[in-house]
């Protein structure tokens, strides 16, 4: 892998057109014809763009690869993200991942992105301050070192990567719909278990945090503890969560019917108690 290290004062003649290298990246802006020049010279042009959803705290990316002979089908990705810049950097990382799938030999690559801050972080003009930005920049540089072709970067305006921008936004919108459907499904599951728990009428206190509920179907008494880590001695809970760590239980487990009854007796909102598990984004 080779990075173009030319500075702003250097000027090159490409097909009778002047192009400038600004601090180790090409300032292309609206230069569609200039991008065509790169394609004519045998470059693989990679358009990367991302979208970020503040509510979901997730990002999406779209990557489109072009060369002189063909345009490859765009690829779309979704991922956990911390912000817009982090998402743009992830889109560049995915750009290299897409290039790895191309079986033809690649000589030179031009990576295009419309985020000035992301481009400057990758080429080394800016120093990442936050750990999550530093991690993704380091991941990009590691991936670049593994490549056997020359890599250059180009800053473009948003309309130049409009197609991948739309694909990224569509991807995050679809992902948001999927997440909301999963959350609604969990909510309905808990509501159903609350209704089922109403048929349990017999219970006894063990201590302030532990109650035994008599199951009307099996006639067994099951011990329920809601704090600090929810647990129940019923078969359903033991089979699914009995061997799991408390971290996994607090992250993913849904309450059983006996827990729903115990929460009612203790005057605890079961949705609040299992809020993290029910409303998780993954």
216 and 141 within one domain: no
Q: What is the pLDDT of residues 21-30, one digit of tens each?
A: 445 889 887 6
Tokens 């079986």 belong to 103
Helical (H) or strand (E) element with 204: strand 203-207
Could you give the CA distance from residue 263 to residue 270 in angstroms, rounded to a whole number? 6
156 and 74 within one domain: yes
Measured between its terminal Cα atoms, the distance across the chain in Å is: 36
Alpha carbon 265 to chain centroid distance? 40
Comparison of pLDDT for 1 and 170, the residue scoring more = 170
- pTM tops 0.95: no
List the structure tokens of 16. 């009778």
230 and 134 within one domain: no
Q: What is the pLDDT of residue 89?
A: 97
148 and 50 within one domain: yes
Alpha carbon 103 to chain centroid distance? 27
13 and 64 within one domain: yes
Domain boundary among 155, 174, 193: 174
Could you give the CA distance from residue 39 to residue 55 in angstroms, rounded to a whole number? 39
188 and 170 within one domain: no
Q: Does the pLDDT value for residue 10 go beyond 50?
A: no
90 and 138 within one domain: yes
210 and 138 within one domain: no
Could you give the CA distance from residue 89 to residue 122 in angstroms, rounded to a whole number? 8
Round the CA-based radius of gyration of the chain to a whole number and report it: 27
Tokens 């048929």 belong to 199
Q: How far is CA 169 from CA 76, 87, 175, 176, in A?
A: 10, 12, 10, 11
271 and 229 within one domain: yes
| Domains identified in the chain, total number | 2
Q: What is the pLDDT of residue 74?
A: 94
213 and 160 within one domain: no
Three-state DSSP class for 268?
A: coil
Q: Does the pLDDT value for residue 188 go beyond 70?
A: yes
Domain boundary among 129, 146, 174: 174
74 and 7 within one domain: yes
Give the mean model confidence (pLDDT) for residues 267-275: 95
**Whether 49 contacts 77, CB under 8 Å:** no
Q: What is the pLDDT of residue 103?
A: 86
Could you give the CA distance from residue 263 to residue 258 in angstroms, rounded to a whole number? 9
Q: Does the pLDDT value for residue 36 go beyond 70?
A: yes
Q: Does the pLDDT value for residue 135 go beyond 90?
A: yes
Which residue, among 217, 178, 220, has the nearest Cα to 199 in the 3D structure?
217
Q: What is the pLDDT of residues 46-100, one digit of tens each?
A: 999 999 998 888 999 999 999 999 999 999 999 999 999 999 999 999 999 999 9
**Whether 6 contacts 24, CB under 8 Å:** yes
Give the range with max mean pLDDT: 46-55, 123-132, 182-191. 182-191
Task: Give Cβ neighbours of residue 266 (< 8 Å, ≥ 6 apart).
Answer: 211, 226
60 and 193 within one domain: no
pLDDT confidence of 31, banded at 50, 70, 90?
A: low
Domain boundary among 174, 204, 237: 174
Q: In terms of residue numbers, what domain contains 17?
A: 2-174
Give phi and psi for 261, each to the nearest 5: -70, -40
Comparison of pLDDT for 64 and 9, the residue scoring more = 64
Long-range CB contact pairs, 272-275, < 8 A, 24+: 273/226, 273/230, 274/190, 274/230
């Amino acid at each position: 892998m080779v990075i173009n290290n030319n500075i702003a004062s250097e000027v090159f003649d490409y097909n009778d057109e002047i192009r400038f290298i600004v601090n180790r990246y090409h300032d292309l802006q609206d230069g569609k014809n200039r991008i065509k020049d790169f394609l004519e010279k045998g470059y693989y042009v990679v358009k990367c763009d991302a979208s970020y959803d503040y509510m979901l705290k997730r990002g999406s990316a779209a990557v489109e690869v072009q060369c002189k002979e063909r345009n490859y089908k765009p690829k779309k990705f979704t991922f956990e993200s911390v912000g817009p810049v982090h998402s743009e950097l992830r889109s560049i990382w995915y750009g290299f991942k897409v290039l790895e799938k191309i079986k033809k030999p690649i000589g030179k690559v031009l990576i295009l992105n419309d985020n000035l801050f992301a481009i400057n972080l990758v080429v080394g003009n800016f120093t990442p301050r936050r750990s999550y930005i530093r991690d993704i920049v380091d991941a990009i540089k590691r991936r670049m070192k593994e490549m056997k072709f020359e890599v250059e970067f180009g800053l473009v305006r948003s309309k130049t990567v409009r197609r991948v921008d739309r694909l990224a936004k569509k991807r995050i919108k679809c992902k948001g719909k999927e997440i909301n459907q999963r959350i609604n499904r969990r909510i309905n599951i808990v509501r159903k278990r609350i209704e089922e728990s109403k048929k349990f009428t017999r219970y006894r206190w063990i201590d302030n945090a532990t109650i035994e509920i008599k199951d009307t179907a099996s006639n067994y008494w099951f011990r329920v503890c809601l704090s600090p880590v929810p647990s129940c001695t019923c078969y359903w809970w033991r089979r699914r969560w009995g061997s799991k760590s408390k971290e996994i239980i607090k992250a993913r487990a849904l309450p059983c019917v006996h827990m729903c009854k115990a929460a009612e007796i203790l005057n605890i909102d079961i949705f609040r108690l299992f809020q993290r598990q029910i409303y998780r984004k993954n």
